[in-house]
Amino acid sequence: MENEGLPNAGLYDQRAALQWIQDYIGLVGGDKSQVSAWGESAGAGSILHHLTAFGGTQDPLFSRAVLESPAYEFLFDRKGSLEQTFQDFAAFAGCAGQGVSCLRAASTKNLRDASVALSEAAPKGAPPVGTIGPSADGTFVRQLAPLEFASGHYWKGISSIILSHTSREGDIFVDNTLETDQGFNEFVDNIFPAYSKAAGVNSAIEAQYPPVMSDTNRKYSSERDRLIDVIQDSSFQCNVRYLSDAYKGKNWNIRYSATTGLHGVDLVPTFYNLNIDVPIFGTEISLPLVPGFGSFAQAYQSYLVSHARTGNPNTFKKTFNLPPAISWPQPGNTGDALTNVLDATDLGFNYITDDLTRKSRCGFWEDVAAAVTSLGGYAPPGSVVPTTLVPVTNDPSANFSGPI
């Protein structure tokens, strides 16, 4: 596919939209040097990849950012699983063996049906869109993002950034039918290639998240809890830690624990409209969208809007409010856990030490990323991140192609 098409075309589309803003924002009185990029989940994951684009050498065309639950999967096996995913999609679209040109001529219906079929064919227990997303291509995404941050290859020109995650990121992505240790192992085997398992990476993951049915396990009472930790560590929370370490001194961190704390619920206060117009007997009546929630949402939004306006969430925070928007300090990241993290709860805002983004947890996944990249020979020359997880005896850059 890399020879015929453009990997990560969606990121280039986003780049075109950001360039359009740079070109025309002045026509409406905007300042192109003060653009803020906001995103949640995959949207935040996209923003993250603009920060590491081309090894951090490309201006992302924004100076501030808000990343809520930045999410993406480990997609790195360019000559293996990534190419196979493309071939599977082409087959589902009726283009088996006919390449990109056939897909470009395919109907919208065929492409939509192929997308659904690809999602339904994902491994048991995998997140619903785990087979697609930002993927290593040696160019825009040179290698997995944790490795770009670890090797210092990210855009340094960001002036201010808000980073957040919810308190229960992984819950909604777990397949509840996966109930055994064997099922967990198969889940890991389906995500990582055969060379990863042969080298011992998969076993290391299984040991880091110890089996439920084991005399040595003192952590998990169910496979569900085990899977939740794997998914939220590898795909959500640790991305916040990597960004926090990269942009130390420029970041404000928040954990969203209000209501259920599930992935995505922080979108409610982010875009909350105090009232909704409801037609009643021919007249539109303005009613609270969520009774009692509006005041909290106003405080939450005041942080975000203040950040967009000034680069500091405190400047125009809504202090005289119930609950009040309290002073939001920048986090401390010198220890294992981030401190002075703002926690948004049902009772308002307070400060916490964030146990969910510990360096010890996230360093493990950085090590996994380094191991699978080097074992596959996909590391950019000069940007190889060493791993202590398993021995690497092959050339870590043997299969790399793209700008260095």
The total of other beta-carbon atoms located within 10 Å of residue 320's CB is 6
Q: For the chain, give the secondary structure using H, E and C.
A: CCCCCCCCHHHHHHHHHHHHHHHHHHHHCCCHHHCEEEEECHHHHHHHHHHCHHHHCCCCCCCEEEEECCCCCCCCCCCCHHHHHHHHHHHHCCCCCCHHHHHHHCCHHHHHHHHHHHHHCCCCCCCCCCCCCCCCCCCCCCCCHHHHHHCCCCCCCCCEEEEEEECECCHHHCCCCCCCHHHHHHHHHHHCCHHHHHHCHHHHHHHHCCCCCCCCCCCCCCHHHHHHHHHHHHHHHHHHHHHHHHCCCCEEEEEECCCCCECCCCHHHHCCCCEEEEEECCEEEEEECCCCCHHHHHHHHHHHHHHHHHCCCCCCCCCCCCCCCCCCCCCECCCCCEEEEEEEECCEEEEEEEHHHCHHHHHHHHHHHHHHHHHCCCCCCCCCCCCCCCCCCCCCCCCCCCCC
Measured distance CA(274)–CA(287) in Å, rounded: 8
Largest CA distance in the chain: 76
Per the CB < 8 A criterion, the answer to whether 34 and 8 are in contact is no
Measured distance CA(130)–CA(122) in Å, rounded: 7
Nearest to 341 by CA among 320, 322, 326: 326
Nearest to 162 by CA among 62, 256, 244: 244
Identified catalytic residue from 36, 41, 81, 302: 41
- Is-catalytic flag, 119? no
Provide the annotated active-site residues: 41
